[in-house]
Structure 1
Amino acid sequence: MHVQIVLFDGFDPLDAIAPFEVFHAGGMASGGAVTVELVSAEGPRDVVSGTGGLSLRATAALDPTRAGVVLVPGAAGPIGDISEVDNSEDTIPVLLGRTLETSLPALLKEALAQPDVLFATVCGGSLIPAMAGLIEGRHATTHHGGMDLLDATGVHAVPARVVDDGDLVTGAGVTSGLDLGLYLLEREIGPQIAHAVEELFAHERRGVVWRNTGPQPAGF
């Protein structure tokens, strides 16, 4: 399983690095069954995050046709008003909105159309395809501050830490990138590999992974 983690200007470093380390460790534990790289829509470049000017190096261009996982992190910065996407300050809504003016939405649309690509997001990363109209009618989650916007785009917003909607798997707040990565390792590679990585990181996954299966709860 090859994982492409997509960087964009203003991304949140923890959204990207937490799953990167999970998948890298999963690759070591599985004898190379998992590989991971940092990519961008523009190709190899230093990408500046929204956290204190910290930069990470994207080593390749996002290939939306490559089988495996495409993972989109959220943005980091002042929270701001989620409705003020034209604000001149680099708030999280502004940073996410700017991605819609790049080639990223078209690449993500192509990735979502591939039957052998699993699309994943962490935190506000789900708002990028949502605002681009790419996941309308799907079930997804995001940071609690963006749930209303996610719902407003026509996505079924689910207040769970990880939401599995088939070929779309999304994580909620920033640290959910660890849980999402471990869940994808378990789902795609196997529980023993995921458990080994979980032990290595001394981290226990939180909450139930929400799926659109089984009876609906009543009386809540």
Structure 2
Amino acid sequence: MLAQFVLFDGFDPLDVIAPYEVFSAAGNFTDQVRVELVSAEGAREVPSGIPGVSLTAAAPLDPGRADLIVVPGAAGTLPAGTDAPTGEPSGATIPVLIGNSLTTALPGLLAKALATPGTTVATVCGGSLVLAMAGLIKGRNAMTHQQGVDVLARNGVTVVRARVVDDGDLVTAGGVTSGLDLALHLLDREIGPKIALAVEHLFAHERRGVVWRDRGAVPQPSPFDTAQGAAGMPSSASVSA
């Protein structure tokens, strides 16, 4: 399988590097996995939102080639003096950086990916906000960083407060460190548990949290429920920050 990891101006480096390294490491144990760093504009140096940190996109984002596309969130600000190809001035904050990504070719390419049978789109942290703000996942189940769940809800997304939410061809995760658990779940799902376990051992990391899927019995209301809703239930009450 080909896994493409999306870069855009102001991306969060750990959102990309953690899952990228999981899939890259899987290449030590199987020839079934290939990885690429990509951008909507094609091969270029892409500044992250962390000062002094950039990554090089080696190819264009291509839903026709990729089996898995991983979208990160944003972090910090663009470095002072950065001449972003998309025209965003340096010093842009996270909401602006995410919003600016929507002015590029990225939303159209992600829409194509979600419409392509056999292609999975995954997000880490604020990556799901990119999809939600582009109007691509209305009515879907998803998670993001806890500070962004209200944005998901306002854009018609059903918020599920789980570390990883598997909604079929859309798999989303919460805060930045959940990128490891997202990637290991996808590796398990797509390649198999033996390879996923081998990478877990290599990284000395045990997956955290339950992967939520839209199946099985639904928890019944109990006296212990709060305004945030029953644990694991994708209800409108669960989006309270």
Superposition TM-score tier, normalisation by shorter sequence:
over 0.9
Greater fraction of residues in helix: 1
Question: What is the match of residue 23 of structure 1?
Answer: 23
Alignment of 1:50-199 (within 5 A): 50-77=49-76, 89-199=91-201
Residues 140-174 of structure 1: per-residue CA shift (max 9 Å, x gap): 00000100101110000111110000010001100
Question: What is the match of residue 12 of structure 1?
Answer: 12
Question: What is the match of residue 37 of structure 1?
Answer: 36
Residue type matched to 1:28 in 2?
A: N
Answer whether contact 1:5 1:70 (CA < 8 A) is retained: yes
> In 1, Cα distance between the equivalents of 2:162 and 2:207?
13
> In 2, Cα distance between the equivalents of 1:66 and 1:113?
13
Answer whether contact 2:42 2:59 (CA < 8 A) is retained: yes
**Percent sequence identity over matched residues?**
65
Aligned to 1:76, the other structure's residue is in SS state coil
Answer whether contact 1:67 1:116 (CA < 8 A) is retained: no
> In 2, Cα distance between the equivalents of 1:146 and 1:126?
9
> In 2, Cα distance between the equivalents of 1:177 and 1:12?
11
Divergent runs of 4+, >3 A = 86-89
Would you say 1:203 and 2:205 are equivalent positions?
yes
> In 2, Cα distance between the equivalents of 1:21 and 1:156?
30
Aligned to 1:195, the other structure's residue is in SS state helix
Residues 62-113 of structure 1: per-residue CA shift (max 9 Å, x gap): 00112410110000016xxxxxxx9995111110000111110011101110
Aligned to 1:36, the other structure's residue is in SS state strand
**Aligned residues: CA RMSD:** 1.5
> In 1, Cα distance between the equivalents of 2:5 and 2:66?
13
> In 1, Cα distance between the equivalents of 2:166 and 2:45?
31
Larger Rg: 2
Say how many residue pairs are matched. Answer: 212
> In 1, Cα distance between the equivalents of 2:113 and 2:5?
13
- In structure 2, relative to structure 1, the CA distance for the partners of 1:87 and 1:130 (3 Å cut) is farther
Aligned to 2:110, the other structure's residue is in SS state helix
> In 1, Cα distance between the equivalents of 2:66 and 2:54?
27
Report deviation, 1:28: 1.5
The TM-score, its normalising length taken from structure 1, stands at 0.93
Aligned to 2:126, the other structure's residue is in SS state helix
Question: What is the match of residue 82 of structure 1?
Answer: none
Structure 2: runs of 5+ lacking an equivalent: 78-87, 226-241
Report deviation, 1:118: 0.5
Aligned to 2:129, the other structure's residue is in SS state helix
